[in-house]
Structure 1
């Protein structure tokens, strides 16, 4: 890349968070700027998504809600500054770049802003080369643990952008390369791509969430460990909920209903969890017992005396 040495930054590591599963719904973005294997600058923006609308499922991941972005700038207002930083960087990178690049593409398209070209690479592939053969999971948290990088607040755009930048630096040093350009040139399996050639995803959807083609376990046919006969419209204020599996009704609608009743949505089961709402599980993913890891954890806690309550979708709707 002929202009690598002339650019102000070698790599711009970027992370987006979205308000809904629509990839144009960016609600925060952060960048960490690398030069000579050091992070020399960083930026963070809160963004008011279209109509300032959030899904409870996304809020459960990153903690942002409409109250956080009520007075925030919209994407067209922050784009000139972000665009300048991208133009000033030889490469852009993100962890699971397909997602972040799709968010950028879709939000530019939504606001009818010009789409410029640049080179980007995925820090998953990039870091894989530095720990080849170790079978380290591809998640940002797991990769950072491998290189002793601390993520201050996972799924906070600023923390994740910094972690991505540090991961790129650590991987480059691990292979004794002087720069990301030298690293990319050295390994044919680690390549950069053009933003103009991106096949952007319009929605964020985990592959495992499809219910069309997998064998199902219906929890209504499994003997419950805990009877819920005494449940009758309890107060959900400050009660923590964890959802697992697929539901007849949209999961984010169920979560939103819980939040409107004062409940708090969490992503993992712990000793502080009050309710676990169980849906249909994908047999290709869960264990031989038909339970997800969240379900097994919940049952372990109940067996140890926890007051945690298991709910089916039908039971939750009756309570709501």
Structure 2
């Protein structure tokens, strides 16, 4: 049985190269086994759009770890399995940017799954926004809150697997370092 590390990041501004929050939900043996959340001090400015969307601003992240500090805690979790996100290219890109911006070498590439890409294949006649998928499956969601989004994405992945989808056929590699 594969281990899936489902994660979601929130960003402070339109550059999408830093994170202001991360939520992580781990799946092992087709069950959610752990949840993790942290605010992150992005050490950069916040755009009003992002603050309105996420509720996170400079005051909220005061005292939160920066990415390098947080990475020491989450790297063991992120290294345990296949990464999963809803619209994964976005979250994977933010992760890659944070690693590069802080000069952190992790690994050259990471295996990942995207619940949007899987959904488009198995449910082609639906919209695949996270809130739409949660409504479809009856999953609780506090949208644009990293912990809730990660947990909801994990629930969607579990629904796909419960319906018989072999998600291993959707695993891709994301280049993290040049």
Q: Give the alignment's TM-score, normalised by structure 1.
A: 0.53
Q: Secondary structure at the match of 1:118?
A: strand
Q: Alpha-carbon deviation of 1:157? A: 0.2
Q: Secondary structure at the match of 2:175?
A: helix
Q: Does 1:64 align with 2:56?
A: yes
2:104 equivalent among 93, 108, 113? 113
Distance in structure 1 (CA, Å) of the matches to 2:53 and 2:177: 26
Q: Secondary structure at the match of 1:21?
A: coil
Match in the other structure for 1:88 = 80
Match in the other structure for 1:102 = 93
Q: Secondary structure at the match of 1:24?
A: coil
Q: Does 1:195 align with 2:174?
A: yes
Match in the other structure for 2:26 = 33
Question: Residues 130 and 174 of structure 1 are in contact (CA less than 8 Å); yes or no, is this contact kept in structure 2?
Answer: no
- 1:248-294 CA distances to partner (integer Å, 9 max, x unpaired)? xxxxxxxxxxxxxxxxxxxxxxxxxxxxxxxxxxxxxxxxxxxxxxx
Match in the other structure for 1:79 = 71
Match in the other structure for 1:43 = 36
- 1:118-158 CA distances to partner (integer Å, 9 max, x unpaired)? 200111012333424xx21120111111112121x100000
Q: Alpha-carbon deviation of 1:108? A: 0.8
Q: Does 1:146 align with 2:136?
A: yes
Aligned length: 177
Q: Where does 1:100-249 land on structure 2 (aligned, <5 Å)?
A: 100-116=91-107, 117-132=109-124, 135-151=125-141, 153-175=142-164, 177=165, 182-185=166-169, 191-196=170-175
Distance in structure 2 (CA, Å) of the matches to 1:113 and 1:24: 14
Runs of 4+ with >3 A deviation: none
Question: Residues 37 and 169 of structure 1 are in contact (CA less than 8 Å); yes or no, is this contact kept in structure 2?
Answer: yes
CA distance 1:124–1:183, shift in 2 (3 Å)? same
Distance in structure 2 (CA, Å) of the matches to 1:158 and 1:43: 7
Choose between structure 1 and 2 for higher RCO, CA contacts under 8 A separated by at least 6 residues: 2
Distance in structure 2 (CA, Å) of the matches to 1:146 and 1:131: 11
CA distance 1:120–1:98, shift in 2 (3 Å)? same
Could you list the runs of 5+ residues in structure 2 that have no partner in the other structure?
A: none
Q: Secondary structure at the match of 1:84?
A: helix
Q: Give the alignment's TM-score, normalised by structure 2.
A: 0.92
Q: Alpha-carbon deviation of 1:22? A: 1.6
Distance in structure 2 (CA, Å) of the matches to 1:120 and 1:62: 25
From the CA coordinates, give the structure whose radius of gyration is larger. 1
- What is the Cα-based RMSD across aligned positions, in Å? 1.8
- 1:28-64 CA distances to partner (integer Å, 9 max, x unpaired)? 001100012111101001100124x211010011111
CA distance 1:150–1:130, shift in 2 (3 Å)? farther
